Amino acid sequence: MELRDIAWAKLNLTLEILGRRADGFHELRSLVAFAGVGDTVAFAPKTEPKLKIVPPGADASPRRAFALDAAGPFATALGEGNLILDAAEAARARVPALAEGRFRLVKTLPVAAGLGGGSADAAAALRLLVRASGGAFSMRDAEAIAPDLGSDIAVCLRSAPALMMGRGEVVAPVAGFPQCGVVLANPHVELATSAVYGALNASPLEGVREAAPQPDFGGSFEALIAYASMRNNDLERVAIDLAPEIDAVLERLRGLDGERLVRLSGSGATCFAVFEKPREALRAAILLAEQEPNWWVIAGTLGDPSAG
């Protein structure tokens, strides 16, 4: 039986870079939410016996425990390496009895787009392995291996509004996040996270990280906007320097009727506009897609996708 999950698109409503750490990573603080749109990841456990007799002269190379098929509008943009298989192999290294199988990815999110797509795919794969393992591999196991796989995977595992800190591995839930609308737009520009951070030239981190106050929005959209408006995405200026098309996307989003917050997500090049009501976002996305047919444009509902 094939199991399915959604790899939800991650948005950084704020992204503060506190400094460059001694280990080369950047210390950050980011308010994260998930947009209610994403890739689809499926997993089918193998049913054939694990041990096979190899005839003389046949290829006796080790059989891979996991395989991956990819389809969808952005499947051709995927590189040879894939975090889904990396995550599955790491899970099996932790629990050797883990069921083998084949993953199927329908890639509908742009690649290298600041949406945590690869991390979200890997997180969905880990959730599927938890479901397929019959209790042998738990969410606690998944959370234990997540930081070594990628900085965004820990927050993508839960796919709920959170404050992300450290290099991304410290995740604190956020209370009272209001449901609201969002429009995502990408001019079909790929922007590698490593290139943006490499050009950032952040100052070395000094002192001890202060504990960040945990926001509680109490379900108030205005409280969310006030919090986010007081903070920036510190990667935005660097990303625009590397991909000037981003500036045009931000300007177009600022012109949408009803938008309350416009930002670059993560390291880009996807930008977003937040609306109080999902229906406002849907109307704005339809209009923007008509006006910019060469962009990737989609509307979503910002918050906790699992709550809907």
Per-residue pLDDT for 209 more than 60?
no
Which of 5, 10, 86, 234 does the annotation list as catalytic? 10
Which whole-number Å values give the CA distances from 159 to 214, 246, 303, in the listed order? 17, 26, 9
Model pLDDT, residue 54: 44
Model pLDDT, residue 208: 54
Strand partners, 90: none
Model pLDDT, residue 33: 97
Model pLDDT, residue 61: 44
Nearest 5°: CA angle at 71, between 66 and 74?
A: 115
Mean pLDDT of 192-196: 91
From the list 239, 6, 7, the residue with the least C-alpha distance to 114 is: 239
pTM above 0.85, yes or no: yes
Looking at per-residue pLDDT, the higher value among 232 and 50 belongs to: 232
Examine the residue annotation and report whether 10 is marked as an active-site residue of this protein. yes
Per-residue pLDDT for 210 more than 50?
yes
Which of 5, 39, 141, 152 does the annotation list as catalytic? 152
Examine the residue annotation and report whether 234 is marked as an active-site residue of this protein. no
SS3 state at 181: strand
Model pLDDT, residue 232: 95
